[in-house]
Chains A and B, each alone.
Chain A
Amino acid sequence: MATSADGSVQRVVAGVLAPLCVVSGAIVLSGFFFPAFVGEAVSGAAWLGLSLLFFSSGLGYLAVLPHRSDDVQSADRYLLKVRQTNMRTAIQTFLAGQDPLTLGLPVVVFALFFGLQVVAPSRTSAAVDAATGTVLRTGGPLFLLAVFLAVCYCLFLLLGPWGDITLGSADTDPTYTYPTYFTLVFTAGIAAGLVFWGPAEALFHYGDPPPYFGASPQSAAAVGDALVYSLFHWGISAWSAYVVIGVPIAYFVFERGAPLRVSTILAPFLGVDGLDSRWSRLVDTLAVFATIGGIATSVALVSQQFLAGISFQWEVVVGPTGPLLFVGGLTVIFVLSAVTGIHRGIRRIAGLNVVLFGLFALLLVGVGPRSFIVEQGTRALGRYIVHFVPLSLYTGGEWVANWTVWNWSWWFSWAPFAGLFIAALSRGRRVRTVVFTSVVATAAATVVWFLLLGGTSLFVQQTGRANVLGAIASSSASEAVAGFALFASLPLGRLLSFLFLALIVVFMTTSADTSTLVVSLLSTRRGQVPSTGSVVFWGVFQGAVATAVLLVGGAGTLQALAVLTGGPFAVISVVAVGGLTLTWYRHERGHTSVLRRWLDRLPTIQTHHDVEPPDEK
């Protein structure tokens, strides 16, 4: 998406970011290496600002670095496109390229919501909370069933005959190499929640054990149960919800020429040519709404928690403008990343994300209680597999509504954008590879993460090395402080804390830049490429919603609203699975399943000895 005009703008941005990064980096590193001389000369808030400036300008610079394919491309475009310097024409072209419904409705709804929130905050919150509570309680079984169905379907695709279907024509090579594919899928589908909840989730279940197992709070038995439940909430169930949205889209896009949209999952019912109908536009609009709601509230929550964690750890209080600046900075990075495109900003920051993630995990293996984690981890993993079906179908009580159903609806509200993104990347790959990557491989990464961090925090809590639960209880920011309280009790705690903070920022960026791209794709008219203006608009819009959440204070309410949009997508996912099955049943016969192939590979046992083998002469 780099036109020549963008190219020159990006060069200017790079020219600003590079010195910014070098100067702030020099100061931050001198403070890091010489804390005695430099460290005390600068105040805590200034350190925070400088470090964030260093990190974000570095990320931004990484995004705008040119790609080797761009030179040729931008030269081509220069001849084709007229530069738009006039603001008015720019806005007109932007509006002309947008779908009025998908652009207008989310903007109006969000404006209305914040208006109501300002005029009557308590009543709005109460109304939304009541609605959410009702949906989560009464709709609980629906969510549980939808997720369970998704997991079963993924298992079927993985082992069954349809896993052999190649997305795209047979001679299409996948554009994304496997490591890139995994990295992009993993980092887009999961946000900073993974980082915060890693050390916190198991502890919460330890302090307030799940009723399914019925252990008493903070007992030795609760340790294993807590781990099992955090694996359950972040394991294959979560990722299956993405895949059942993603695989149908990918199939109809690459095999039937349907447009790359969420509404494409309705293709079996409306036909590829009927995808212009009101229903499909409603689905797209809903997807935009769910994505923006999900991402913007995550951005707002993450920035609050990030600063809360810092003020807990280093007693740096930044005041009310802090989160706003943080959101602003984050918006700049993810807009830059989305504008520069998937092969530049998004891929590079995602790569950095995975490297940091791996580095952190390795460090934790080095300094953490290895034998405890291995022992508890293997046991938890075994119990997770054994209890998976009953856990998935267990509907009992308030606890499940607050944790499992809440999580499930949250995953479903992310499913449209994550699913669409998975679909878009999967050209030339087999369905089995798609499912394996986006469910098994990604879930393996999160499972390891939760076992490592959850196991370590449980170990620290249980042996009394640190009272992380106490820190959570005493702080208003709840799960945000768990990590810092934990790392303080480990060797290399300072380094772990720094990496932890970097991971939060990077994970949020990699999700937000992808969602920006997807939303601008959905809101652009059929058959047109989202313009740079459109990507910038939706990125800034997400940032603005996050800012509004911070200002008006409706984070919980908006999050609840976003979660509410998960409900429709739970239903849509069931519809999608049904439609896909129907289509494949009609058109995709003759593939062999993995199980069949394994069976064929076994030596055939001769049972009919009386039959003479045919003579071969």
Chain B
Amino acid sequence: MVDVSDEPGEPALEEVFYPTERVPFVEWQQFSGAKPTVVLTGVTTLLAFVTGMSNLSQPTVTVDGPLTAVVTVPAGFTQFAGVLFAFVLGLVTVGLQRRKRLAWRVAMLVLPTLALLPLATLQTTDVPLLVLLVLTVPSLVWNREAFDQSVDLSPLQIAALAAMVGVGLYGVVGAYALRNQFLELDTWSDAVYYVIVTIATVGYGDITPATMQARWFSLSIILFGTGAFTVAVGALVGPLIESRMATAFGIMTAAELTLFEDHVVVLGYGDVTASLLKELGAETDVVVVTDDPDTAAAITSDDVSVLTEDPTDEDVLMDASVDTARGVVVGSNDDAKDVLAVIAAKNVAPNVRVVAAATEEKHVDKFDSVGADEVINPRTIGGRLLGQSVLGESASLSDTDGIGPERSTGRESGNTGN
């Protein structure tokens, strides 16, 4: 038996049928992560809306799905469920995008309930939604670990939300209790309707207080309700705008930074940083920590987040989630500051991989001694590449040992350099 797998006799076979090492059916990593799950939920939201609108646009919705044999589905459900669920799911998708645990829980509740719609009608137009739900729910379950952020509400936000709920309860229960003193208010749903119309300052006027007591009651709802509503909107929306503006100015909030994982932290900004960011940009999330506001403002790439703080400060590195980072690059033009940054990074996360770029050759050893896992001297490498290039040797990066993973790199290259 002749083994000919290495023989270059059949390039057609290799190139046409074996272009890569492995050809899987579906590249699971691409489709099974948390991000695709969020996208899937978003698409489900959109489809739920369209399906809901489609059902709403029909004069009658035929209801003869498998579910109807088990329970009777309310007539309004099939017409309105899609659109209403879509609005809830829209919020949920935003929450999932921020990896909120609460959003995940709501999604696990809402999505299976939404599946009742296509199961009840089983119209051709509803089946795509069902198929998508069958994909989305397992994907959410599979990625449940990724959605672990708690909802951090400030005391003001909690108070405002509690006040909203409290006023709502007070209004509904009170209005129902005083129903005899109102015109045309008879049931619980009338009470809910009245309270919402009042708080929203719409006031159709179809339900009106008839006695003085009822009027005082209504006034209290208006005052407390609109007040709580306004405060709640301010408390909830305000921080969003603040953080948006902060990002625009290169300052990130701690909450945003905790979202990073498996990212690369770049401490300091120097000559090599620009090409470094270009190299890393598409590959992974990058956080640059620099105390120079001008440099921070100059970094405009979307893939790079900037933290305008001192890179030698342990608290700042903690904020930049150095402990969950894939690696740290230290590479400003100031070697003294860089050494401090390496020490700070190792203090925060002893196990993180730290790569340092030594501006001057004589500092390579110092970086070694403070614990950098790898030290690279860009000038030495550049010089060696130039030398090899002019002699016509292969000048590809992999052939030079100048950036090999050894710590002796600097010393070795020092010898050849001279």
Contact = CB atoms under 8 A, between A and B. Distances in A.
B is bound to A: yes
A497 to B, nearest CB: 9
B13 A260 contact: yes
B142 interface: no
Interface in A162-217: 168-169, 172-173, 175-177, 179-180, 183
A255 interface: yes
Given A521-B12, A527-B11, A528-B11, A34 B57 contact: yes
A299 to B, nearest CB: 22
B24 to A, nearest CB: 5
B21 A530 contact: no
A551 interface: no
A397 interface: no
A587 B1 contact: yes
Contacts of A343: 19-20, 23
A514 to B, nearest CB: 11
Interface stretch (B72-80, B121-129, B217-225, B351-359): B121-129
A524 B125 contact: no
A347 B23 contact: yes
Contacts of A587: 1
Contact of B19 (A260, A341, A491): A341
Nearest to B66: A366
B10 A253 contact: yes
A172 B13 CA distance: 15
B13 A424 contact: yes
A105 interface: no
B109 interface: no
Contact-residue size bin, chain A (C-beta under 8 Å from the other chain): 35 or more
B16 A517 contact: yes
Nearest to B4: A257
Nearest to B59: A36
B299 interface: no
B315 to A, nearest CB: 38
A68 B31 CA distance: 14
A79 to B, nearest CB: 11
B24 A177 contact: yes
Interface string A19-41: 00000000001001110110000
Interface in A1-15: 1
Interface string A142-178: 0000000000000000000000000011001101110
Interface string B18-40: 11111111110000000000000
Nearest to A350: B25
B55 to A, nearest CB: 9
Interface residues of B, number: 35
Contact of A172 (B5, B125, B127): B5
Contacts of A450: none
Nearest to A366: B66
Contacts of A491: 122
A173 B5 CA distance: 12
Nearest to A260: B13
Contacts of B51: 33
Contacts of B13: 253, 260, 424
B23 A257 contact: no
Contacts of B157: none
A302 interface: no
Nearest to A363: B127
A1 B16 contact: yes
A130 interface: no
Contacts of B20: 67, 69, 175, 343
Contacts of B3: 169
Contact of B15 (A34, A177, A529): A529
A343 B27 CA distance: 11
B10 to A, nearest CB: 6
B415 interface: no
Given A34-B54, A180-B25, A255 B2 contact: yes
Contacts of B392: none
B10 A342 contact: no
Interface string A509-531: 00000000100010010011110
B12 A256 contact: no
Contacts of A169: 3, 5
Given A427-B18, A517-B16, 18 more contacts: A1-B16, A34-B53, A36-B58, A69-B19, A175-B20, A175-B21, A175-B22, A176-B23, A177-B24, A180-B24, A255-B1, A256-B2, A257-B7, A343-B19, A347-B25, A424-B17, A492-B122, A521-B12
Chain A to chain B: the 7 pairs with minimum beta-carbon distance, closest first: A257-B4, A179-B25, A33-B54, A69-B20, A495-B124, A424-B17, A494-B124
16 contacts: A32-B125, A168-B5, A175-B22, A253-B10, A254-B5, A257-B4, A259-B12, A260-B12, A343-B20, A424-B13, A424-B16, A424-B17, A521-B16, A529-B16, A530-B12, A587-B1
Interface of B: 1-5, 7, 9-13, 15-27, 50-51, 53-54, 57-58, 122, 124-125, 127, 131
